Amino acid sequence: MSSRTAHRVNTLIAWFFIVSMIGLFVFAGCAGTQNSSKPGAQLWGENCGRCHNVRPPASLTDEEWEVAGLHMRTRANLTGDDAAKIVEFLQMAN
């Protein structure tokens, strides 16, 4: 397989992953607990360290944090509002 073909395959796989995550985000709709009035930094500290070591904000780009936020919203059972606050905090600190 040529490098150009491999690049196209990798690009298609990445787009499939992104579209799949968006689908999960849309269909998860009401998953999670009630919306929290807590700021994103506090939600990040309380939720992200439960299952794994938290990453420093600069470890991912803004776009990568968007994808991670979609994924973790489902995995951590976060509301859309709380997930958005966490992603916004990480992007601001990035």
Walk along the chain (94 residues) in steps of 10 and give the mean pLDDT of each run. 76 68 53 72 89 86 93 92 94 88
DSSP 8-state class, residue 60: S
Q: How far apart are CA 81 and CA 88, in angstroms?
A: 10
Q: How far apart are CA 22 and CA 33, in angstroms?
A: 20
pLDDT at 61: 93
pLDDT at 82: 95
What residue type is 80 in one-letter code? G
pLDDT at 34: 59
Q: The whole model's pTM is what?
A: 0.61
Contact call for residues 7 and 52 (beta carbons, < 8 A): no
